[in-house]
Structure 1
Amino acid sequence: MRAAAGFGRIERWDDARGFGFITPEEPVAGAPQRLFFHVRDFDRSTAPPSVGARVRYVPERQSDGRWRAIRVAAVGVAVSPGARTARSRRGRLAATTTAPGARGLWIAIIVWIALLAAAHVSGRLPPLALAAAVGLNALTFIAFALDKRAAQQKRWRTSEAHLHLLELLGGWPASGFAQQLLRHKRAKPTYRRAFAVMIVLHLLALGAWTFA
């Protein structure tokens, strides 16, 4: 259920996690005194989110009964076309530098499968290890799904250290797909860089163990 558009100010903004809270100027009946919003619901053609900024938004009640703000846009601040273009260029640059991207992920998966096949043919990889790899990736995807849901509902989150540990142990393919399909963590450069490191470390360890 959506209510009429309203105005408010950003009370809190977490740039690293890409979410924040808005204090409405005129709260909707039955809605909380502050509303959650995600960066994907913010109009990128306006000024970027910042604490204290006045915004226009649409309150929406979700199927679970929780309220959030969508179609959020800064008001009273004009952004020049040049600044908008520069921001778009920085966004594209960040997307290309926070490896691995979709192509890099597929290349890494091909290398991973080749190493697993070589280890299996050489007898160094027991059949149960393949089943364990599948199970670990399923667990990793579930962990990402639960973490995203916890973020949306403002509940206790899974630590990034635990997610990276799952990636290092071999769950990184599922992590890569989860980031793309669930749109979770993929816009956070620090996480993406650490994710790339986990892939490299895992492949190096698997390669050393296979050919040692």
Structure 2
Amino acid sequence: MNHLFDYGIILYLFLINTYVFLVMWYDKRQAERKKWRIPEARILMCGVLGGGLGGLLARSLFRHKTRKTKFLFCFLLGVVLDIVLLYLS
């Protein structure tokens, strides 16, 4: 395929995973401070759209959202999407 397309996919996956990781960190921080939180739907959607690896890493490092299986499922789905996109590029 086109190399520009390949780099675009890699850049997208890097950015979405970094975003989810940082959002999970921020949400955990806000939870500890008992302040406004990031809506779960936003985190879940970004996880499904390719941010699964960042979400799983943050989930493990920050011990955040570990009791909610929907996060595990969505993040795993996002990892599958990452693998498919990398395979197709």
Q: Which residue of 2 aligns with 1:166?
A: 46
Deviation at 1:204, TM superposition (A): 8.3
Instruction: Specify every segment of 5 or more residues in structure 2 that has no aligned partner in the other structure, as ranges.
Output: none
2:2 paired residue number: 123
Residue from 69, 78, 85 that aligns with 1:206: 85
State yes or no: 1:147 paired with 2:17: no
User: TM-score, normalized by length of structure 1?
Assistant: 0.36
Unaligned runs of 5+ in 1: 1-121
TM-score, length of structure 2 as denominator length: 0.76
Q: Percent identity?
A: 26
Larger Rg: 1
Task: Name the amino acid aligned to 1:184.
Answer: H
- For residues 38-187 of structure 1, the aligned pairs below 5 Å read 122-123=1-2, 125-187=5-67
**CA–CA separation in structure 1 for the residues paired with 2:82 and 2:9:** 15
How many residues get paired? 88
Bigger relative CO (Cα 8 Å, ≥ 6 apart): 2
What does the per-residue CA deviation read over 1:43-75, in whole Å, with 9 as the maximum and x for residues that have no partner? Answer: xxxxxxxxxxxxxxxxxxxxxxxxxxxxxxxxx
Given that 1:164 and 1:198 are in contact with CA atoms closer than 8 Å, whether structure 2 keeps it comes out as no
| Residues 133-183 of structure 1, C-alpha deviations (whole Å, 9 max, x = no match) | 212211111100000011111111111110111112211111010000111
Contact 2:52–2:76 (CA under 8 A) maintained in structure 1 = no
Where is the strand percentage greater, Structure 1 or Structure 2? 1
8 Å contact kept, 1:168–1:198: yes
Task: Report the alpha carbon displacement of residue 205 of structure 1 after superposing the two structures with TM.
Answer: 6.4
Instruction: Decide whether aligned partners of structure 1 residues 157 and 206 sit closer, same or farther in structure 2, where only a CA change above 3 A counts.
Output: same
Match of 2:68 in 1: 188
Conservation of the 8 A alpha-carbon contact between 2:13 and 2:82: no
SS in 1 for 2:20: helix
Contact 2:59/2:66 (<8 A) preserved = yes
- CA-based RMSD: 2.6
Higher helix share: 2
Question: How far apart, in 1, do the equivalents of 2:36 and 2:65 lie?
Answer: 16
Q: 1:196 to 1:137 in 2, by over 3 A?
A: closer
Contact 2:24 2:55 in 1 (8 A): yes
